Chains A and B, each alone.
Chain A
Amino acid sequence: MMKSEDVKWVEEPKLGLFGQLYLPIVMDGLKTTLTHMFQRKVTESYPEQEPTMVPNYRGVHRLNRDAEGRTKCVACYMCATACPAHCIDIVAAPAPAGWTDREKYPETFVIDELRCIYCGMCEEACPVDAIELTTLYDLTGLSREELIFDKEKLLSVFDMTTKAGTDPVRTQSGKLGPASEAPPVK
């Protein structure tokens, strides 16, 4: 059973004469509201004034290109596996001749932007930093089909965001990671 000494009563602070007169406190409050009236406003007038997003904002995806302008993706399916919304669909194919640094490449790479929950798990899962979420926040479309992004569209997002400078390439391009290598021959 609960003991009475365990009960703590929280008492409101005792008011002094100023508090009991009430008017000085009201004046104090009016001073606060009046000063706020003339303070700098925090409102962003959105369509006219574009917000600056934080660098790790999770917006529209992009497929990164390597130094030679090819897609970095090695079609390892790690992102599609990690994706909790099952919005990534990859069809892998053997890498074209001359792509010496990898075994596979994505023949198609489709993200359903409407299904995506923008959790960033694909970005975390990717072993070669090929998929990234950009700071593009105003993704709209007139139909569902319009918002199913294929490989070309995702690569164009890369071109657009790097050109605009809003999302610079975050990881160094160059040699791909171990995921690109062919499985060891036994």
Chain B
Amino acid sequence: MMDFYESLPAWLVNTALIIAAVIAGIQGYVAYLILLERKVAAWVQDRIGPNRVGPFGLLQPIADGGKMFLKEEVIPAHVDKIFFLMAPIVAFSTALLAIAVVPLGQTTPPPAATATVAEFESAQAKYAASYSTVVVPGLDIGILYCFAIGSLAVYGVILAGWSSNNKFSLLGALRSSAQIISYEIPLGMSIVGVILFAGSLNLETIIDYQVNKGTWFLFTQPLAFLLFLVSVYAECNRLPFDLPEAEQELVGGYHTEYSNSMKLGLMLLAEYAHMITTSFLMSIVFLGGWSLFGLETAITSDPTGLFLVKAAILGGKMSAFVFLYLLVRWTIPRFRFDQLMALAWKVMIPLALLNLFAAMLIRQFDITPWAMTGVSAMLFLGAGLIGLKHGTPDNRARKLKVPLPRGLPAGVTYAGR
């Protein structure tokens, strides 16, 4: 048996190991993320939170998981069975696929083009010998792949909503598709500015650019970061943009009919996996991945130690973003649907376009990247000033123009104004 394993190529064993580690890691992280979500919710509301199962409630995720597996699988009679069963699988597998290109720790960027073939060969050999903690290292369309797969996740939601044959589920799914289509645009455009500077879609190269420059895109492109942050909240259906599952309006939204068991478990797992993926993306693209202004090499130079330190730094950044997700949930109330759409189309897309235009100019004329910081601040303030001048037009200063129709008692307003 050992001979068989040894006969396998090293890259295959490595990749298989990383895949297993990533899947197990994500599921474990999600389990404890759900516990943390409940804990943070409790803390923010001056409560203690789940603390009955195990010390400090630490075994709660295991109890919850066991419950999910042991519950009866209910498939309502009125659903479209094939798509109903397919939806959680689609949702969860796309969520896991998106993480394939995300570097989880130490990375080596693929070599750039060289003058001679010999140089290229040696650079390639050196690259092949180095080790990257990615399931699919060196994928040149990296971030594009992430966005593509991330958008596919909406299929899970739409399939669930449509096949449930239930008006609340369908409304949730419709809201979700409208929302995700709207927010894909600022999400994509905000990151193009970053890609212009890094010169590659490859996530390892983007990290490498930030390490070489000694600064993060968070500082040179803060507006892009802000737009990206807001967009991923909408993409993940998290508050303040959780309209697809607004429980006060839509019962459970698109997963109303997934009342229990592992189908609901997979749906929730997919949502949390999305949070993790987007948090990784934010830390990599805007916070320099595993870099910490050279501090990571100052601590240790031992390769194993360095590997662990880098993984810990990236994990810490990712966890900070995840924590922000949880905290924002209890901070900002849910947007109304028209506000959600207005924010995407009237504010974020114009801002992203202007930001992209500025990035193009600065890149073209080789002005220092720090100019982008000023431009971002100016755009941000400018948007605020425009808002100050014109206010929110829809719900302010309504004047009663038409007298109320006869016969309506005082206090009853007429829908036709």
Interface residues of A (CB under 8 A from B): 1-4, 6-7, 9, 11-12, 14-17, 20-23, 26, 29-30, 32-34, 36-43, 45
Contact = CB atoms under 8 A, between A and B. Distances in A.
Query: Contact residue range for chain B?
Result: 35 or more
Given A6-B410, A9-B398, A21-B380, A36 B43 contact: yes
A45 B391 CA distance: 48
Given A6-B410, A16-B388, A21-B381, A29 B403 contact: no
A2 B47 contact: no
Given A2-B408, A4-B403, A36-B45, A26 B332 contact: yes
Nearest to B395: A12
A29 to B, nearest CB: 4
A2 B404 contact: yes
Contact of B410 (A2, A21, A38, A45): A2
A42 B397 contact: no
Contact of B47 (A11, A22, A32, A41): A41
B45 A1 contact: no
A7 B397 contact: no
Chain A interface helix/strand/loop/mixed? loop
B384 to A, nearest CB: 4
Nearest to B407: A1
Contacts of B47: 41-43
A29 B332 contact: yes
A58 B90 CA distance: 55
Interface of B: 40, 42-48, 51, 226, 327-328, 330-332, 380-381, 383-385, 387-388, 391-392, 395-400, 403-404, 406, 408-410
B331 A41 contact: no
B388 A43 contact: no
A11 B383 CA distance: 23
A82 B212 CA distance: 86
A20 B308 CA distance: 43
A45 B404 contact: no
Given A1-B406, A20-B384, A21-B381, A41 B44 contact: no
Given A22-B384, A40-B46, A41-B47, 18 more contacts: A2-B408, A4-B400, A9-B398, A11-B396, A15-B391, A15-B392, A20-B383, A21-B383, A21-B384, A29-B331, A30-B328, A33-B330, A36-B44, A37-B44, A38-B43, A41-B46, A41-B48, A42-B46
A1 B407 CA distance: 7
A23 B46 contact: no
Contacts of B408: 2
B327 A33 contact: yes
Contact of B331 (A15, A17, A33): A33
B404 A36 contact: no
A-B interface, 10 closest residue pairs, ranked by CB to CB distance from nearest: A20-B387, A21-B384, A29-B331, A43-B48, A37-B43, A20-B384, A4-B400, A20-B388, A33-B331, A33-B44
Nearest to A10: B398
Contacts of A15: 387-388, 391-392
Contacts of A29: 331-332
A17 B397 contact: no
Contact of B396 (A12, A20, A30): A12
